[in-house]
Amino acid sequence: MAIREIRFNGDEILRKKSREVDEVNDRIRELLQDMIDTMHEYNGVGLAGPQVGILKRVIVIDLYDGNEPLQLVNPKIIKAKGKQEVEEGCLSFPNQFAKMIRPKEVTVEALNQEGKKVKIVAKDLLAQALSHEIEHLDGILFVDNMVPGTLEYIEPEAEE
């Protein structure tokens, strides 16, 4: 498949609200696969449509835990419980990290890459990743909700 261009902080598309996907077809499946390839290329845990310049409600997540990456279309958080303080970054904000308060558990409804309805009950890191990526679909960035004063820039290690 293809590696897509990541959109970075300051790109106005990141602030726009994504549109629902009417039909999960081959074009959507190709987009999802491209997003997985792009996420893996940049060692990300998740990626949302707007981050590759596509205003569609699609996200991919890979926790690198041996399971297949999640490919979700029109995901919605229908329930959230608990709180966890986490360190968070974003492929659209390279080398920047901040503390966030995220739900400890979320229940998400979506369509999978086959267009079938799925319900996911996620805890800890997966709950964090789902919350982060679904916010992207509404133009909300992690810096909007970070714990004030916790944003750090980590200098990348020099390539040898």
Catalogue the active-site residues: 133
CA angle 128, 68, 43 (to 5 degrees): 60
- Please say whether the beta carbons of 9 and 93 come within 8 A: yes
Q: How far apart are CA 41 and CA 20, in angstroms?
A: 26
**Among residues 134, 123, 112, 121, which one has the least CA distance to residue 46?**
134
